[in-house]
Amino acid sequence: MALAIGDKERNAMSKKMQYTDEPLKMGERVKDFLPPPSQLVKREKTVKITLELTEKSLAFFKQQAKRQSVPYQRMIRGLIDAYADRYDDTPLA
């Protein structure tokens, strides 16, 4: 007879744990390796411009941005940044 999904786990969870009165040993403290929240959001200097888009393109970006819960301008900026990064042939220092 085949076990149903979760049967094996259910049996393991029903086992009783045996605890002892041994003192707990503290493990080695790990240095915090995560950046602070302020460094998680990439802030770059921006410049305001006027850009004309087709109604079709703007509708697309607004729809996609709404699905992702982000401003459509940020999505367009991300697309342009990705394109510039991909085709930038400036030699690295």
Tell me the whole-structure pTM to 2 decimals: 0.53
Q: What is the pLDDT, as a whole number, of residue 35? A: 75
Tell me the one-letter amino acid at 31: K
Render pLDDT for 6-17 as a digit per residue (tens, 0 to 9).
555 555 566 788
CA angle 68, 70, 72 (to 5 degrees): 105
Render pLDDT for 7-45 as a digit per residue (tens, 0 to 9).
555 555 667 888 888 887 888 888 877 777 777 767 789
61 in Cβ contact with 72 (< 8 Å): yes
Q: What is the pLDDT, as a whole number, of residue 73? A: 94
What's the rounded Cα separation, in Å, for the pair 67 and 51?
23
